[in-house]
Amino acid sequence: MSTVPHEARSWRLTPLGQLLRRPPRYGINAAAVPFTVGMSAYVRITDIDGDGRFTPDPKVGVSHPNSGDYVLQPGEIVFARTGASVGKSYLYDPRDGELVYAGFLINVAPNPDLLNPKYLALIAQTGDFWNWVTRISMRSGQPGINGREYAQLPIPLPDIETQGLIADAVTDIEELIVSLQRLLAKEEAIKLGVMQQLLVGSTRLPEFSDPWGRMTVGKIADVKTGPFGSALHERDYVSNGTPIITVEHLGERGVVVEQVPMVSASDRSRLHAYSLRAGDVVFSRVGAIDRNALISNLEEGWLFSGRLLRVRFDRGLADPAFMSAQFHSRAFREAVRSVAVGQTMPSLNTSILRGIPVDVPPLREQEAIAAVVIDLNKYLDRLAHRLAKAKAVKKGMLQELMNGRAFDRALTESTS
C-alpha cells in the first residue's frame, strides 16, 4: 500500500517552464481539409470539449508538407492561446489516433522526471488555474496567453510519486464519469427511438388497436399567454416569495428548478390568473419556440412569465404526460417552427399554438404510453443524478489539488 506522505502538505510553487523538456511550441498554421483514412487528424480549439477531451464534430484532417513536425506525442498537452476559449487544454491520448495540433494551440511537453502530464492536465481544470487564466489573459484587453506566459504558470509541486497517486485517484472518477456519459447518451437514444415509434402509432402497446384521431391543440386544451402587459423585471424579484418560471427554466424532462426567481405577495395577488397547475405545459413564445416543460406537483401554484404560453388540457381528452411527450417529438417541434411568425425572432401566440395538429389516441392508450415514457425518464434521471454526483466528487478533489491536502483517503483507497 502506498499513501501520500504528510510532509507533502506544503508544496512549493514552481513555474511550469522549469518542469518541461523544452520551451512551449506553437502549432501549425494550415487549413483543415475533409478527413480521409490514412490522414492525420487535425486538433483545433473547437475540437476540445470542456472536460479536456478530443471530441471533433466532424473530424477533419490536415494536408501540409510540414505537418509531421506538429504531431502530438504521448505526454504532451496543448493549451488554447487566444479567444474566448483561452486556457482550454487537452492531454494527448494515443487512442485518439495521430493528431496534428493547430496554430491557436500551444504544445507543452512535461519532463516526466519532474512533472506527471496527467497531474498537469488536472491542474488545468482547477478553479485556481482558471483564475490565473482570467488574470493573465486580460492584460492586453484581448483574451490571450502566449507560450512565454504559459511557462510562468505556477505549479504546486509535490514529489513525482505523489503526483502519480493524485493522477490515478482522479483518473478513476474520470473513467466513471465517461462511462456514465456514454450510458446516458445510449439510453437517451433508446428512449428517443421508443418515443418516435409510440408517439406516431407505428408501434402499438399490447391490448390497444383502436384508431387514433388528429386534433388541434385548441380542441384539447386552453392556451393562455403570460402576463405580457404586466411584465416583471429583475428589480421586482424578492428573496422569499412565489416562484415564477421563465424561458430559462424549460428543460427536456420538466422545469429546471435551480435559481427560479420569486415575486412578492402583492405581485402574486396581482398575477393570480397566471398560476400554474400540475399537468399544465408551458411553452416559450419567443425565440426558442419549441422549448416546453410539463408542470409537476412541485410547481403547483407557481406563476409563468410574459414570455411563455400556458397549455391546460381537457383531462377527458388528453393525458398531460402523453401530450408533453408529443410536444417534445421531432414532428411536433418541426410543426411549431413551420408556423412561427417573424424572420429574425420567431414567435408564437395563442392562436398559432391552438391551430397546430397533434395525434391523439384514445385516453387509456395515452395513459399507457405516458407510463412508459415516465419510467424511461425516471431511469434517465437516476443516471443523470449519478453523473452529477460523480462530477461533484471530481470537482471537490480538484478544489483541493492546488493546496495539497485532503487526498489521503481517496489515494489510499485507489492504491490499496
**What CATH number should be reported for the domain holding residue 276?**
3.90.220.20
Q: pLDDT band for position 231 (50/70/90)?
A: low
Of 234 and 317, the structure prediction assigns the larger pLDDT to 317
Domain CATH for 414: 1.10.287.1120
Average pLDDT in the 351-357 region? 92
pLDDT at 142: 67
Structural domain includes residue 195: yes
Asked if residue 332 and residue 230 are part of one domain, the reply reads yes
- Residue found under cell 460523480: 390
Of 364 and 404, the structure prediction assigns the larger pLDDT to 364
Asked if residue 223 and residue 355 are part of one domain, the reply reads yes
Structural domain includes residue 337: yes
Angle at 228 between CA 227 and CA 229, to 5 degrees: 95
Asked if residue 151 and residue 165 are part of one domain, the reply reads no
Question: With b meaning 16 or more CB within 10 Å and e meaning fewer, what string describes 261-275?
Answer: bbbeeebbeebeebe
Structural domain includes residue 262: yes
Asked if residue 136 and residue 163 are part of one domain, the reply reads no
**Count of structural domains, the chain:** 3
Asked if residue 341 and residue 239 are part of one domain, the reply reads yes
Structural domain includes residue 221: yes
What CA–CA distance (Å, rounded) separates 407 from 156?
A: 14
Structural domain includes residue 107: yes
Q: Left (φ > 0), alpha (ψ -120 to 50) or beta: where does 348 sit?
A: beta
Average pLDDT in the 140-150 region? 83
pLDDT at 10: 58
Q: Find the domain containing 255 and state its range.
A: 213-359
Asked if residue 383 and residue 340 are part of one domain, the reply reads no
Average pLDDT in the 5-20 region? 74
**What pLDDT digit, counting tens, does each position of 172-220 carry?**
888 899 899 999 999 989 888 888 888 888 889 998 999 999 999 999 9
Structural domain includes residue 2: no
User: Above 70 in pLDDT, residue 320?
Assistant: yes
Q: pLDDT band for position 267 (50/70/90)?
A: confident
Structural domain includes residue 413: yes
Q: What percent of the chain has pLDDT over 70?
A: 91
pLDDT at 228: 67
